[in-house]
Amino acid sequence: MTKGLAKSGAISKEELERYRVYPSEERLRKGPVAIIECIQEIPCDPCVHSCPQKAISLKTLSALPELDREKCIGCGLCIPSCPGLAVFLVDMTYSKDEALVQLPYEFLPVPKVGEHVDAVDREGNPKAEGRVVRVRIDPKTNRTAVLAVAVAKDVALDVRGIRREIG
Ligand code: SF4
Ligand code: SF4
C-alpha cells in the first residue's frame, strides 16, 4: 500500500479511487481523455482556462478541478498549463497493443522522437519500456514539454513519467 500524496509526494491507488481520477472503461474505449490527478485544494486554475472545450471547471478557486469527460476531446492543451504537473492524457485506442500516455516533462535534454525510455509509475518505479512518439513544446505556454509515450495497454493507467540513460 502506498502512503499517499501528503506523506510520499505520490498519489496513492486509494486516493485515485477516492477522488475518482480514472475515467470509466467505456470512456477510455471512446478515445483520448485527460486524467487530472489534482487532489489538493489550493487556489489554482490554469487548467480551466487552457481548455477550448470548457471541459474543466472549478466550483470555487480553491476547489478541486472537475472534468467533464464527455466534453474532453483529448487535445492535451491542459497538460502544460498545470504548474503542479498533475495533468495527463491516456489514449487506449492508440493501437491494438499499445496505449499512448501524454505527460509533462521539465528536464533537459528533451527526449527525441523514437527514443526508448523506461516508463515509470508515480513513485518512479519502472513499469515497462516506452517509446517516445511525439514531443510538443508550445513557446506560448511555460515551455513545459509534453511527451507522448507508447506503452503496453496494461500499464497505461500507472505510467506517469519516464527515466532515461543520458551518456
Ligand atoms: S485534453 Fe483538451 S479538451 Fe480535454 S480537458 Fe484537456 S484541454 Fe480540455
Ligand atoms: S492547474 Fe493543475 S494544480 Fe492547478 S487546479 Fe488545475 S490540475 Fe490542479
Q: What pLDDT, in 10s, does the model give residues 58-98?
A: 999 999 999 999 999 999 999 999 999 999 999 999 999 99
Task: Count up the domains in the chain and report the number.
Answer: 1
Residue 46 beta carbon below 6 angstroms from any ligand 2 atom: yes
Number of residues in the chain: 167
- Is any atom of ligand 2 closer than 6 Å to the C-beta of 32? no
Judged on CB neighbours under 10 Å (0-12, 13-18, 19+), 139 is exposed
Which ligand ends up closest to the CA of 23? 1
How far does residue 32's CA lie from ligand 1's centre (Å)? Answer: 9
Among 74, 42, 40, 72, which residue's Cα sits nearest to residue 54? 72
Q: Are 57 and 77 in contact (CB under 8 A)?
A: no
Distance 167 CA to ligand 1 centre (A): 36
Structural domain that includes position 28: 5-163
For residue 73, give the ligand 1 atom closest to its CA: 3
DSSP 8-state symbol, 94: S
pLDDT, position 7: 80
- Residue 95 buriedness (CB in 10 A; 0-12 / 13-18 / 19+): exposed
Is the CB of 12 inside a 6 Å radius of any atom of ligand 1?
no
- 11-69 pLDDT tens trace: 998 999 998 999 999 999 999 999 999 999 999 999 999 999 999 999 999 999 999 99
What is the signed CA dihedral for 129, 69, 76, 153, rounded to 10 degrees? 10
